[in-house]
Amino acid sequence: MNLLVIIFSGIAILYLIVTGWITKKLSKFKFSKQKLNLEDELTNFSLLVSFRNEADRLPYLLQSISEIDYSLDKFEIILVDDHSSDMSRTEMNDLVNKFNVNIHLFHLSDVGLSTKKHAVKYGVNQASGEYILTTDADCILPIGILKAHHLQIIDQQPDLIAGAVSFIKKNTFLSQFQYYDFMAIQAVSMSCMIQGQPIANNAAHMSFKRSAFLESDPYKKNLNIASGDDVFLLEKFIQMKLKIRYLEFSEVVLSASQESFSALINQRKRWFLKSKHVKNRTAKRLGLILFLGQLNMIFGFILLFFLNQIELIFSFYIIAKFVIDYRLLNEFSKKFHLGFCAKELLLFYIVYPFSLFIFIFAVLNKDYSWKSRQFKF
């Protein structure tokens, strides 16, 4: 058999086995049916939000927080402003005072600090809650989020809980592309974590024990890296053999996707930058397999023009791959009651392998912007 056919077939088999295993494990996951016991002492939470230039989105986040079903005296909100230029301090204070919740507003400019990791670290030090729950300023929190985290905390006493996040899907191709792409990332991360192999989490929906954060000092060696506050925290907790769990309730945080192609490119550059510093071997190996599995579709398509013997193998691969990818995303969307459209997924399925080339070439330009700041990697 031609060497190129062997390479194509090997990648195809490896991808299908790995994604099939991920899908199978995810499908078997069941949410907890635990109910709140009124006699149990409620966990004290500090909701930590680092933000920069989010004047348009911050009110929606605060509105969702004000509607959370949890005792008001058992949680506080820590807002850390990272040198915003779209709101004055007076405007920030006026916004905070509109909501009947316990909000503490801090400014990194007052303490000579900047960037998100400094903001998170500073916010944790100012917090009084036993557990910190982080989210982003462009998010909407579900009403039962604190209750869900509390129930898992009293049941399992974890050091970190990772929760589900979904982009808000709009009626545009760019929005739908990001929606299914991010759903795939979330589904893979969830499946690995419930099997005791955490590879990723997301700061938009994550809680952790404050004392564990202070003891581990997760950003000590990576403060110079613009992104990765969630990934580096997870890696440090893994290194210290702390207890990491996935949220066993269906609460999902909704987040805004990028509104322009250039913003999406900058986001992917930022993600690539932090992935370069990831030390988790399982995450790197899995990421490589999934990446090669996507590029294999283009590789196989090219081979069709030169090798007739690959027609049957290629046809089997694209069909089997779509079936497994469909099942994976469908399983995740059903568990969290998220929208799912087979036609949209089919278009995403066709376009995605080609989009990877765009992202690869974009990374060759090492300059990128994030939150009105310029970076280079």
What are the tens digits of pLDDT across the range 297-345? 999 999 988 887 888 999 999 999 999 999 999 999 999 999 999 999 9
For residue 326, what are the CA distances in angstroms to 17, 43, 71, 184, 332? Answer: 15, 38, 40, 10, 10
The fold adopted by the segment(s) 40-163+201-257 is Spore Coat Polysaccharide Biosynthesis Protein SpsA; Chain A (3.90.550)
pLDDT, position 275: 77
- Answer yes or no: are the C-beta atoms of 203 and 270 closer than 8 Å: no
1: confidence class by pLDDT, cuts 50, 70, 90: low
- Tell me which range, 106-120, 266-280, 353-367, is most confidently predicted by mean pLDDT: 106-120
234: confidence class by pLDDT, cuts 50, 70, 90: very high
Residue 206 falls in which region: left (phi positive, over 0), alpha (psi -120 to 50) or beta: beta
242: confidence class by pLDDT, cuts 50, 70, 90: very high
377: confidence class by pLDDT, cuts 50, 70, 90: low
Beta strands at 45-51 and 75-81: parallel, antiparallel or unpaired: parallel
What percent of the residues of the chain are helix, what percent strand, and what percent coil, each to the nearest 5? 55, 15, 30
pLDDT, position 131: 98
Span 200-212, average pLDDT: 97
pLDDT, position 225: 77
Distance CA 226, CA 323 (A): 37
pLDDT, position 10: 96
Asked whether the predicted pLDDT for residue 252 surpasses 70, the reply is yes
Least confident of 27-31, 343-347, 361-365: 361-365
pLDDT, position 206: 98
pLDDT, position 374: 75
- Answer yes or no: are the C-beta atoms of 226 and 141 closer than 8 Å: no
- Answer yes or no: are the C-beta atoms of 130 and 177 closer than 8 Å: no
As given in the structure block, the two tokens for residue 217 are 């000092």
What is the location of CATH 3.90.550.10 in the chain?
40-163+201-257
**146-152-156 Cα angle (round to 5):** 150
Q: What percent of the chain has pLDDT over 90?
A: 78
As given in the structure block, the two tokens for residue 249 are 């309730």
